[in-house]
Structure 1
Amino acid sequence: MSLRDFLERFRPTGTPGAAVTGVPPDRAAERAAELAPALARLTAVQQEAARIRAAGEEAAETIRRDAGRKAADIVAAAREQAPGVRRQAAEPVVREAVREAEAVRAAGGRAADAVRERGRAGLPSLVEDAVALALRPTAGTGAAP
């Protein structure tokens, strides 16, 4: 600290006008004395806010725990119900597939019946032709019918 700085401390302060000598008043101490009661009240408010915040955090943690349990219960119930829901969802598709299979089976049966009927209808003429061929003399044997 220089001599000039040291001497500056003793310069007159205050409003313009008559010169005053002496040490300037401690404005920081004056402000502190003026603000001390208000700050003391704020300390109590800060403590109350901290208490409220802690209670809120505790309540939030309880809510999170309860929500976690409820979510686990919902998931467990969904897993338990899943086979039934899948079965219900597949039921219309299975019914339609059974209907289609029955239709294909019926069409196949009709086609088989038609083939059998054609076979039965043509069988007598085939038998006649086979008998005629069997009874016809073969060339070069010399046998007469």
Structure 2
Amino acid sequence: MNQTARRIGRSLALVLPVVLVLSGTLAVSSVPWAGQHRSDQLLTASAENVSVPAAKDAPRAPQDVLRDRLVGELERTDPGVALTALQRAVEASPSTLAPHCMSIARALGAAAVRVYGPTKAQSYSRPVCDTSFAGGVAAAS
């Protein structure tokens, strides 16, 4: 009995790590961020609500209004003014705008590249919303 238990234990000690490594590898390789994008999944996700008409009088979300206003400000003045306005808006309404601060700052970075070019846009970078402005500049460059 003792010999049989020892033999089973040794077999499991050899086989179990191999099974765990293989199952982990298969699990990681099957997720979309592993670089294997399937176009049918992407097409289905993007075409899901095509037939739904946009509501003309639907109120826009505060973060969308702020983003559009700040992009306009960036185009009229400079990215520094827009980043300051973003920081003040988030400080004034943190519960509403703080979750969207990074995406707004990235949008401002991308808009700055379109208006000023990557080098000048990068010169306006500062740590508003965890340096997301610089991330937007880098992504748009």
TM-score (normalizing by structure 2): 0.25
Kindly indicate which of the two structures has a greater share of residues assigned to helix. 1
TM-score (normalizing by structure 1): 0.25
Higher-RCO chain (CA-CA 8 Å, sequence separation at least 6)? 2
Higher gyration radius (CA) = 1
